[in-house]
């Protein structure tokens, strides 16, 4: 992946399945997200500055800050990237598990893939923990400060809010139903360490998460979920999220059979990279904001 912030933003697609999905879910966080794919525009949007000499100075410093790996911004983008490449695998195992339920011929898949709901729940919890990890890498709050993180999440805006809305809709609500937080927390709490070890996502991101062994990281995921529970449930209630509403938007992007929401979730998981896409935009905003504060 490039270490040039301008190239990084320019490499984001202006239109693809991910962008269509995010546009479809925009109704959950109206006005928060636009698909910004140029550094110049990102600076104007993040700072409200319009003078070219000011924009040029911000760009110069932002490029410098991003390019130096010691600042951690490249690492945060890598983490977002790993979340999505791993979810491709989780999507595959979920789908394979579903096919196994349906078809005797594929019955053996049941034995080699994790139970669907366990996979979904663990991965959903891990994704939220990765969000905490990426936030701490870019903004520097201590890794164990979940209270600070949730304060910041509650204050979050723009791309962060869009990503959180997509996580709630696609990784939680769609596959697990309206009481998803209860399901996720109880699954993660009762999951064995081996369940975590089996998660492709966990294998990829474990090094990025605070804590020594699997047990500590499992605790982090659990505590993070519990800290987020009130906020997430409030979000669902406030937005009046319903299966019909979410599904109607998803159907604009993917042709899915209405009674197979788990398939829809698996297809989205495999065919979009909304964590990396909006995560890149979030990191760019944070670098730009800092550059603006430093010039």
Partner 1 sequence: MPKIPSSMLAALLSATLLLASAGCKKDEPQFADAAAAAEKKLEEKKALGENAPKEIEGKKLNAFFPEELEGGKRTFTTEKPGYVEAKYAKDGKDVCVLTIADIVDNADSKDKYAKSTEKIGEFPVATFGKKQTMVLVKDRYQAKIISDTLTHEQRKAILEKIDLKKIATL
| Residue of the chain from 32, 99, 226, 247 that contacts partner 1 (CB under 8 A) | 99
| Residue 163: C-alpha distances to residues 45, 214, 218 (Å) | 18, 26, 23
Residues in binding contact with partner 1, number by CB under 8 A = 57
Whole-angstrom Cα distance, residue 65 to residue 77? 14
**DSSP secondary structure, 175-236, as one string:** HH-TTHHHHHHHHHHH--HHHHHH-HHHHHHGGGSSSSSHHHHHHHHHHHHHHHHHHHHHHH
Using the contact rule CB under 8 A, the part of the chain among 25-33, 76-84, 135-143, 188-196 near partner 1 is 135-143
**Residue 167 contacts residue 267 (beta carbons within 8 Å):** no
Q: Which is nearer to partner 1, 82 or 191 (CB)?
A: 82
274 near partner 1 (CB under 8 A)? no
161 near partner 1 (CB under 8 A)? no
Q: Which is nearer to partner 1, 194 or 257 (CB)?
A: 257
254 near partner 1 (CB under 8 A)? yes
243 near partner 1 (CB under 8 A)? no
Using the contact rule CB under 8 A, the part of the chain among 171-179, 199-207, 225-233, 268-276 near partner 1 is 268-276
25 near partner 1 (CB under 8 A)? no
- CB under 8 A, 24+ apart: contacts of 134-139: 134/76, 134/79, 134/80, 134/279, 134/282, 134/283, 136/210, 137/72, 137/73, 137/75, 137/76, 137/79, 137/208, 138/72, 138/73, 138/76, 138/282, 138/283, 138/286, 138/287, 139/286
Whole-angstrom Cα distance, residue 32 to residue 154? 14
285 near partner 1 (CB under 8 A)? no
Q: Which is nearer to partner 1, 102 or 193 (CB)?
A: 102
Whole-angstrom Cα distance, residue 189 to residue 175? 19
Which residues lie closer than 8 Å to 81 by C-beta, 6 or more apart?
1, 273, 276, 279
Q: Which is nearer to partner 1, 2 or 203 (CB)?
A: 2
| Residue of the chain from 1, 27, 101, 102 that contacts partner 1 (CB under 8 A) | 102
| Residue of the chain from 1, 7, 112, 237 that contacts partner 1 (CB under 8 A) | 7
| Residue of the chain from 37, 74, 119, 187 that contacts partner 1 (CB under 8 A) | 37
| Residue of the chain from 51, 111, 194, 244 that contacts partner 1 (CB under 8 A) | 51
Which residue from 20, 182, 203, 22 is spatially nearest to 123, judged by alpha carbons?
203
What DSSP element (H or E) covers 69?
A: none
List the x/- string, 56-95, binding to partner 1 by CB under 8 A. Answer: xx-xxx-xx--xx--xx-----------------------
For binding to partner 1 (CB under 8 A), which residues are involved? 4, 6-7, 10-11, 13-14, 16-17, 37-40, 48-49, 51, 54, 56-57, 59-61, 63-64, 67-68, 71-72, 99, 102-103, 105-106, 139-141, 148, 151-152, 155, 254-257, 260, 263, 267, 270-272, 286, 289-290, 292-295
């Amino acid at each position: 992946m490039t270490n040039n912030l301008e190239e990084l933003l320019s490499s984001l697609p202006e239109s693809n399945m991910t962008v269509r999905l995010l546009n479809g879910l925009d109704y959950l966080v109206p006005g928060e997200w636009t698909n910004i794919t140029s550094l110049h525009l990102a600076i104007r949007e993040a700072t409200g500055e319009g003078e070219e000499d000011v924009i040029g100075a911000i760009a110069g410093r932002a490029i410098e800050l991003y390019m130096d790996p010691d600042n951690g911004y490249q690492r945060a983008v890598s983490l977002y990237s790993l979340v999505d490449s791993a979810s491709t695998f989780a999507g595959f195992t979920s789908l394979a598990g579903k096919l196994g339920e349906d078809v005797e011929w594929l019955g053996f898949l049941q034995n080699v893939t994790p139970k669907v709901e366990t996979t979904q729940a663990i991965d959903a919890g891990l994704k939220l923990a990765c969000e905490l990890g990426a936030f701490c890498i870019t903004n520097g709050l201590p890794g164990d400060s979940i209270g600070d993180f949730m304060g910041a999440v509650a204050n979050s805006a723009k791309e962060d809010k869009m990503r959180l809305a997509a996580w709630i809709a696609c990784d939680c609500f769609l596959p697990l139903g309206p009481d998803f937080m209860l399901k996720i927390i109880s699954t993660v709490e009762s999951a064995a360490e081996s369940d975590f070890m089996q998660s492709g996502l966990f294998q990829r991101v474990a090094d990025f998460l605070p804590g020594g062994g699997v047990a500590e990281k499992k605790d982090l995921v659990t505590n993070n979920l519990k800290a987020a529970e009130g906020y997430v449930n409030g979000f669902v209630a406030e937005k009046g999220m319903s299966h019909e509403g979410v599904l109607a938007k998803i159907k604009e992007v993917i042709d899915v059979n209405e009674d197979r929401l788990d398939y829809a979730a698996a297809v989205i998981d495999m065919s979009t990279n909304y964590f990396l896409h909006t995560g890149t935009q979030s990191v760019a905003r944070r670098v730009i904001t800092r550059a603006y504060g430093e010039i």
